[in-house]
Amino acid sequence: MVRSPAQPEGRTRTDKARRTLSIFGATGSIGVSTADVVLQHRDSFDVEVVTAQRRAEELAETAIRLGAKHAVIGDPDRLEVLRARLAGTGIGVAAGPAAIVEAASRPVDLAVAAIVGAAGLEPTLAAIDAGADIALANKECMVCAGGLFNRRAAAASVRVLPVDSEHDAIFQSLEANNLHAVERITITASGGPFRTATLDEMRRATPAEALKHPRWAMGPKISIDSATMMNKGLELIEAHHLFDIESARLDVLVHPQSIVHGFVTYSDGSVVAQLGVADMRIPISHCLNWPRRVETATPRLDLATVGMLSFEKPDLQRFPALRVARTALENGDWATNILNAANEVAVQAFLDGAIGYLEIAATVEAVLDVATGTVGGTELDTLEAVLALDREGRRLAAERIDSRGRRAG
Ligand code: NAD
Ligand code: MG
């Protein structure tokens, strides 16, 4: 038996013709696509809150275009810019991480979680506690606190609708009446910019090369995660929590064309998949409008033009991050929490030029090795425990990067 995002059944909130909505991370890649989807069906949504970290100008513009009631900026130094841009509009402004969490407590039908990294955890939990269904793009908050996240969602009986394209494909492929007949769930991976690269080429890879994703235009963090395939590892962990399925029944398949986003294998031998062009407005629209389907302004899939779909097994030698993430998933929440924290630090260090591309996965693996002996098995029952372990993962990663830098220098 697996779980479907359509559960719990019998709730009507998401069936309302007009929905109230908040967007956390409104200036990012997902946030901008979300605004697009909302604007195409302007009469279906009332936007309560939009947030961003630093881009006050873009946030103000988004708030005005969407007719939001409140705009909140994470960085307090950007508040004056936001205030000036929104003067006379009647849109409320606030700043700071606590203000974002407070804004997440405002009751809405649906909260779009599109902040990047573990920074999105507290606002998302606050939105859950306030009774909002969650359209989840921010996979890191599942990876660092999956158990806690699910317990809080169940306690508030809110739905978690997956925006991540692979998980939305699984959501679409799950037949509500046949959840007991699911044998396996498969998520696909484009393989990223280094799908065919040699280890030697990877050793020399620059941030600019790693950021150049062949199929999707995304924020920098997830783009680097795609290059290392850590993104697929995070998505395995996300799938485990979203669909309540164990690692042994979860597969990753490399599919360079990014047309088939995921599929479910049923016990009668049927395979049900979701296909579409690589455009995040499709899964976003599915989550925002579910259980209805509405028109999107995305190109239509033309399979004759695509011509060929190909599939291959991921290469765990060249993409060790996938193996490391799978092991963390099997070791439990403490391990995925450390995995995520170390990865966030290592990705930033790579983008800053402090470590090489191959050092990203190596750092995460080394941190997990150390952490197994010190914090292995830590229970993550509370937000405080989650945040404390996250800090420890970041500390261990920074320490390792620092000591290697000193040795190299
Ligand atoms: P992005 O970097 O483009 O945008 C991130 C957003 O979060 C911005 O609005 C930024 O202002 C905000 N933000 C950053 N740090 C913050 C902080 N500390 N506190 C509060 N807000 C902060 O990222 P993105 O590509 O839009 O990805 C967002 C999330 O969605 C990530 O978790 C990513 O893994 C996931 N996701 C993205 C895509 C995609 O196509 N971009 C696809 C699937 C899942
Ligand atoms: Mg994805």
pLDDT single digits (tens) 210-222: 999 888 889 999 9
As given in the structure block, the two tokens for residue 233 are 């590892």
Identify the pLDDT of residue 405.
74
The pLDDT value given to residue 14: 62
Identify the DSSP state of 11: -
Asked whether the bond before 8 is cis by omega within 30 degrees of 0, the reply is yes
The first and second tokens of residue 17, run together, are 């013709």
Pairing of strands 45-52, 133-136: unpaired
407 alpha carbon – ligand 2 mean position (Å) = 36
Q: Could you identify the atom of ligand 1 that is nearest to the CA of residue 221?
A: 2
pLDDT the model gives residue 215: 87
Here the tokens at position 343 are 């990865």
Ligand nearest the Cα of residue 30 is 1
Which atom of ligand 1 sits closest to the CA of residue 52?
11
pLDDT, tens only, 51-101:
999 999 999 999 999 999 999 999 999 999 999 999 999 999 999 999 999
Nearest residue by C-alpha to atom 36 in ligand 1: 137
Q: What is the DSSP letter of 302?
A: -
The burial of 117, by beta-carbon neighbours within 10 Å (0-12 exposed, 13-18 middle, 19 or more buried), is given as buried
Q: What is the mean pLDDT of the chain?
A: 96
Question: How many Å lie between the centroid of ligand 1 and the Cα of residue 317?
Answer: 29
- CA of 328 relative to ligand 1 center, distance in Å: 23
Predicted pLDDT at 408? 62
Our mutation pick for probing the ligand 1 site, out of 23, 27, 29, 190, counting the most ligand atoms within 8 A of Cβ, is: 29
Has this prediction a pTM greater than 0.95? yes
Is the model's pLDDT at 262 over the cut of 90? yes
Ligand nearest to the CA of 29: 1
CA 86 / ligand 2 centre spacing (Å): 34
Query: What mean pLDDT do residues 350-379 have?
Result: 98
In the structure, which protein residues have their CB atom closer than 6 angstroms to any atom of ligand 1?
A: 25-31, 52-53, 55, 74, 100, 114-116, 119, 137-140, 164, 216, 218-219, 221-222, 280
Identify the residue whose C-alpha is closest to ligand 1 atom 20: 53
- Tell me the ligand closest to 218's alpha carbon: 1
64 alpha carbon, distance to own chain's centre: 26
Please give the number of the atom of ligand 1 that sits closest to the Cα of 123.
Answer: 20
Ligand 2 center to 321 CA (angstroms): 16
pLDDT tens track for 383-400: 999 999 999 999 999 999
pLDDT digits (tens, 9 = 90+) for 115-156: 999 999 999 999 999 999 999 999 999 999 999 999 999 999
Question: Separation of 78 CA from ligand 2 center, angstroms?
Answer: 31
Give the C-alpha distances (Å, rounded to integers) separating 393 from 186, 200, 327, 380.
29, 29, 16, 14
CA of 174 to the centre of ligand 1 (A): 27
Give the pLDDT confidence score for residue 35 in this predicted structure: 98
Cα dist from 28 to 194, 209, 293, 315, whole Å:
24, 21, 24, 31
Q: In the chain, what percentage of residues exceed pLDDT 90?
A: 94
Q: What is the DSSP letter of 312?
A: B
Ligand nearest to the CA of 222: 1
* pLDDT, average across residues 312-316: 98
Q: What pLDDT was estimated at residue 16?
A: 78
